[in-house]
Structure 1
């Protein structure tokens, strides 16, 4: 059996180390923290923002977001943002399709970060219906090309205690939106209908799960999700306050029970 040269062994070693480092970056990426910071720069996501079309201001915003994100480069961060927006938009498309499928079951997103992202990305729903040409064609084209997400993405970013989502649908296979012809009142009604359906889907996400769940376990998960959206120090302080309140209430109940037993 031929022996491998030191050069080949060294290259293989570097490849392994590089792969491990890439996996560590994926595992350390905090989706909720990133969305929280991303939200602070509306020129990067809000299509009717006055600076959304200003490439120079968008570049400056990306430079500020990059060190906070923990991502290695602006290009990698742009790819991450495109993946997030693409996945979010496809979840909305699935909700819409389930509304028109005639089925009584409404599609419920399995993304653990969908509800938080919808709090601000949902502002683009009406603008998306009225747009015919992208004001940033190179950005829009790259976003569509990256719509098929890599299977190496962190599963925790995509589902919560559920199966891995199937490969996302390429943009070319999605039904093309019709040209805007409806009156303003019809557009408003349509938007409200979509928002109501999304709200129903989010409610189902909260109540679905193991049959042993009850209102308290669902509430606990809801609080946990909100804590994850806060800065770490604030979350720890708030967690302590919640625990202190629960502890004092339990002690009071125990003392009352002991007092009653002595009567």
Structure 2
């Protein structure tokens, strides 16, 4: 099995959470990112995790599966950013269909949708950790690039544009900037939420989702057993 998305959801969540716990593998601006010893230790843990479902797992296969997850996330992120940019209201904002999209939101400021950057062929390359992406300072970079690309070229030989055209360009820039600020606020709010979460919070949410899908009687029994199991675990009987 070469595609991580074919594994069960619980394993993928745990795999992503383990990856998130090692900023040395994904946070480019972190001092840990250039620490090879920390990276080697992190990859050893990632390999052991992947070997739970793939006995032949290697560092290379871990990188490929991470890149697969990030590639799907990057496509959805691009659609979200574009819908925030051009949509006229909240109903126009794209809702990601990727079920693990929210689990990867911690990568938002590490990803740039490719179509919003020019000359990528010369600038993009596979990073040492195997992820094929372009690090940026903030999620608003696509908007900043877009504003620059749309700005009219002016040379010393070009007559000055009419004031109405100049006013129109200023209005468009202001609207784009306002949309960018809105997106940044939403992304930051999401990131703040995930900063406060740990793997137990994620597991709790996953359990609650499963309970909602159970028949009422089965959900009631599960609610009874879960506290009992936790109580026995706290006593050291498990």
TM-score normalized by the length of structure 1: 0.44
TM-score normalized by the length of structure 2: 0.48
